[in-house]
Chains A and B, each alone.
Chain A
Amino acid sequence: MQMQTDFLEEARRQAEICNACRYCEGYCSVFPALHAERAFSDGDLTQLANLCHNCRGCYYACQYTAPHEFDLNLPQALANVRQDSWEELAFPRAAGKAFQKNGVLIAIAAVIGFALLFWAARALSSAGGEGFYAVLSHNAMVAIFLPAFLFPLFSIAVSLRRYWRHIGAGPFRPAHLFEAFRQAANMKDLKGGHGDGCNFEDEDRFTHARRAVHQAIMYGFLLCFASTSVATVMHYVFDMPAPYGLLSLPKLLGVSGGLLLVVGCIEMIRLKLRSDRSLGATAAFGGEVAFVGLLGFVGFSGLALYALGQTTVMPTLLAIHLGAVLAFFLLTPFTKMAHGFYRLTALTAEAGRKG
């Protein structure tokens, strides 16, 4: 693996300063891990970078930020290493390189997704189906989405395995994964070491906005996912194919999830636009915003489909929604979406180190 040495060198330089200072020890998981080392290998730095959630607390607290000659900007240094690690560890790597930083390519992928679904709808439309399945037969949907779902999972699994090796983590233990899930579920670190939140929107003012927005997106996404899963079970196990009524479980889950997702994504983009870009991986800003936009659009088009499913625009909407979903799934390993997986892995490895 060939990570960018200038990013690693810069992160190493700063980590060594932090190791002599330690003032930020209580902010997040990065510092206890950092202070446990005396020298930092590339793998150590990659692990630290993936433990960092870019809350910026340590930037505003730091007495050594520019114009001081030590020029500390740990959130940026770690963001660059983190971003680079996601690109380098991606499988296939070229896809990571292409999409992580490139908002335009993400948009193009989404458009290709739409086009594919329009074509599929036209070519594979079914005669007998009801509702959505009249537009695209159930089997055609499965034929498109099963691989589109399995491939990203496989790709991410390969990447995480690479990650685990690169950071030199010990044997995998489910208990450590459990601990990581526990931390991630309530986004402990996003509260900051003191429970006041992040410094994301207004210099050194601590706010909970970023945590709230993350929670909305994560739970919104999980609800939508649950909706699809419940529908799948109903379809196959109970022989109850779609469409479902408004008070059915898939719709309740899907509508609430969709709303959370849309609101969360809009607020996330607003937050990102307000934030100081020089404290993140500047080069990846466009890619991140485009990805959040795509995710929000998945939610939005899904809601539109719920609302207008009985009208004549339904087939168009369905193609757009499914196209967006398809692009989203396929891009998952190569966009910001991957961060959740890496973060969970980093927390698991850290739980393992602490024993």
Chain B
Amino acid sequence: MTSPDIAIIGGGNAALCAAITAAEAGARVLILETAPKSYRGGNSRHTRNFRCMHHGPLGPLVDSYTEEEYLADLMKVTGGKTDEGLARLAIRTSEECLPWMEEHGVRFQPSLSGTLSLARTNAFFLGGGKSLVNAYYRTAEKLGVQVEYEAAVTHLELDEDRVTRIDYTQNGQTHTIAPKSVVVASGGFQADTDWLARAWGPAAKNFLIRGTPYNRGVVLADLLDQGIEQVGDPTQCHAVAIDGRAPKFDGGIVTRLDCVPFSIVVNKDAQRFYDEGEDVWPKRYAIWGRLVAAQPDQVGYVIIDAKSLELFMPSVFPPIKADTLEELADKMGLPADALVQTVSEFNDACGDTSNFHPTELDGVTTTGLTPAKTNWARPITEPPFYGYSLRTGVTFTYLGLKVDEHAQCSIGNRPVTNLWAAGETMAGSILGQGYLAGFGMTIGTVFGRIAGKEAAAHANAN
């Protein structure tokens, strides 16, 4: 094939934003997506919203959400480990992204039922991330962007500070192209569980991957091996506790469990290990991935009783149900005596529950129990009893390519003249740890557009 002006590696949100922007600047663009068409769009196909700054009502967003408030929210979750300059750039640009997204086919809807707390800060995609991805592919193709599916990039050849060649395989054949500009938007490496296990230890083999099986970090490893500037370390990842019955890959949003605050959570020895009622669930669900990962066999068990069953959003698998705790333990493979004892110790530590309030911190706490349950502590007494198993579900990894405000990669102390990165694969440049709901799509949209613009300017000038 004749080489395009710009090759974009990846087929998710960041890649598409880059492709559309570059094509609108007049460049001939090729997207290399390793997934087949039915699975195109990486993790972006699983998303539901993006976080957007705005002065006054904007699209589906109410009130306003200022730069300072947005930044403060970010600083809180990352514990200050944030590149403030790039974060401000992402936040400030997010406001113009929303109309840009609409112009390019994305449709928004009011916050989903059960997520009203996000109505001010996060704009939800009508139909979710896959409909966003579909709309962008339509737009890109109309602009003449060429898309190759099942095209797995294996290597970028570097000559000093320039990418001279891209190798990819498709249908068992190897192809080589030499585009003028290259944008890497191929996500993290979380789907390569061997790599995860090297970083985390063998426990990582038991992790589930919430999103695409195609983000295996092949391009990331290839570039880091050649000395492209790195950011973050491989042990950092965003992980949450999800239903233990979820598929190994691609289980997505429906495998989340929101019942922890109303439960006790035990390990496989039927022992509690953390305060289930520490905070409201949206603020705590991200720490439970690590908590469960630290337990034997990387598994946890949520136990609730009949009175709590309807307090949380239903999830995809029905709970395991039993009339007695012994029977429940039996069905879940837990030691029955130990479970009965743990529950009765917990029940004995519960006090006055008359202030119980499911949606706010109610201070209904245990006394004299370690670990304590500091909110929503009601005895587990009312049959039938229900249980869910919990496993660690990895959302994405933080190890990535370091970029500047032009989304450009560097080697040694100088920029690589024709290499840009966008999305998950460079998110570590902004977030050192922690995560703020909806910020992943903001980073991808903002830096995808920047990368597309810069890559096109370079290609058009050369």
Contact = CB atoms under 8 A, between A and B. Distances in A.
Partners in one complex: yes
Contact of A61 (B128, B314, B316): B128
Contact of A67 (B38, B45, B112, B316): B38
B142 to A, nearest CB: 10
A178 interface: no
A27 to B, nearest CB: 7
B126 A193 contact: yes
Nearest to B44: A63
Interface in A141-180: none
Given A22-B112, A64-B252, A16 B314 contact: yes
A27 B127 contact: yes
Contacts, number: 87
A26 B134 CA distance: 17
A23 B38 contact: no
A27 B138 contact: no
Nearest to A21: B254
B376 to A, nearest CB: 20
A204 B109 contact: no
Given A61-B127, A61-B130, A61-B134, A193 B107 contact: yes
B130 A62 contact: yes
Contact of B113 (A22, A61, A64, A194): A22
A25 B109 contact: yes
B107 A60 contact: no
Interface string B293-333: 00000000000000000100111101000000000000000
B313 A26 contact: no
Contacts of A19: 314
Contacts of A21: 128, 252-254, 316
Contacts of B254: 17, 20-21, 64, 70
Interface string B229-251: 00000000000000000010010
Given A19-B314, A20-B253, A196-B107, A63 B45 contact: yes
Interface string B46-71: 10100000000000000000000000
Given A62-B130, A67-B38, A193-B126, A22 B114 contact: yes
Contact of A23 (B110, B127, B138, B247): B127
A58 B314 contact: no
A317 to B, nearest CB: 47
A69 interface: yes
- The interface centre, meaning the residue of B110, B127, B129, B250 with most chain A CB atoms within 10 A of its CB, is B127
A350 B268 CA distance: 46
Task: Give the bracket for the number of chain B residues in contact with chain A.
Answer: 20 to 34
Contact of A38 (B39, B129, B310): B310
A38 B314 contact: yes
Nearest to B138: A205
Contacts of A214: none
Interface string A54-97: 00011011111111111000000000000000000000000000
Contact of B134 (A32, A60, A66): A60
B186 interface: no
B429 interface: no
Contact of B127 (A20, A57, A64, A67): A57
B366 interface: no
Contact of B48 (A23, A27, A32, A38): A23
- The interface centre, meaning the residue of B45, B125, B316 with most chain A CB atoms within 10 A of its CB, is B316
Contact of A20 (B110, B125, B315): B315
Contact of B129 (A16, A58, A63): A63
B392 interface: no
B130 A63 contact: yes
Interface in A33-71: 35, 38, 57-58, 60-70
- The interface centre, meaning the residue of B134, B254, B310 with most chain A CB atoms within 10 A of its CB, is B254
A212 interface: no
Contacts of A24: 126-128
Contacts of B125: 23
Nearest to A194: B107
A26 B109 contact: yes
Contact of A65 (B38, B107, B128): B38
A64 B256 CA distance: 15
A57 to B, nearest CB: 6
Interface in A180-226: 193-194, 196, 204-205
B314 A25 contact: no
B213 to A, nearest CB: 11
B107 A23 contact: no
Nearest to A23: B128
Contacts of A64: 252, 254
Contacts of A16: 314, 316, 318
Nearest to B318: A16
A22 B131 CA distance: 13
A284 B306 CA distance: 43
Contacts of A60: 127, 130-131, 134
Contacts of B38: 65-67
B326 to A, nearest CB: 26
Contacts of A62: 128, 130
A194 B310 CA distance: 32
Contacts of A25: 109, 112-113
Contacts of B250: 63, 68
Interface in B100-116: 107, 109-110, 112-114
Contacts of A22: 112-114
Contacts of B310: 38
Contact of A63 (B252, B313, B314, B318): B252
B130 A26 contact: no
Given A35-B113, A196-B107, A205-B138, A20 B313 contact: yes
Contacts of B45: 63
A19 B253 CA distance: 11
Contacts of B127: 23-24, 26-27, 57-58, 60-61
A21 B45 CA distance: 13
Interface string B117-138: 0000000011111110010001
22 contacts: A17-B316, A20-B253, A20-B313, A22-B112, A23-B112, A23-B129, A23-B253, A24-B126, A25-B113, A26-B126, A60-B134, A61-B127, A61-B128, A61-B130, A63-B45, A63-B128, A63-B250, A64-B254, A67-B39, A68-B250, A70-B254, A194-B109
Interface of B: 38-39, 45-46, 48, 107, 109-110, 112-114, 125-131, 134, 138, 247, 250, 252-254, 256, 310, 313-316, 318
Shortest 3 CB-CB distances between A and B: which pairs?
A61-B127, A23-B128, A26-B109
Given A23-B112, A62-B128, A62-B130, 6 more contacts: A20-B316, A23-B128, A57-B127, A70-B316, A193-B109, A196-B107
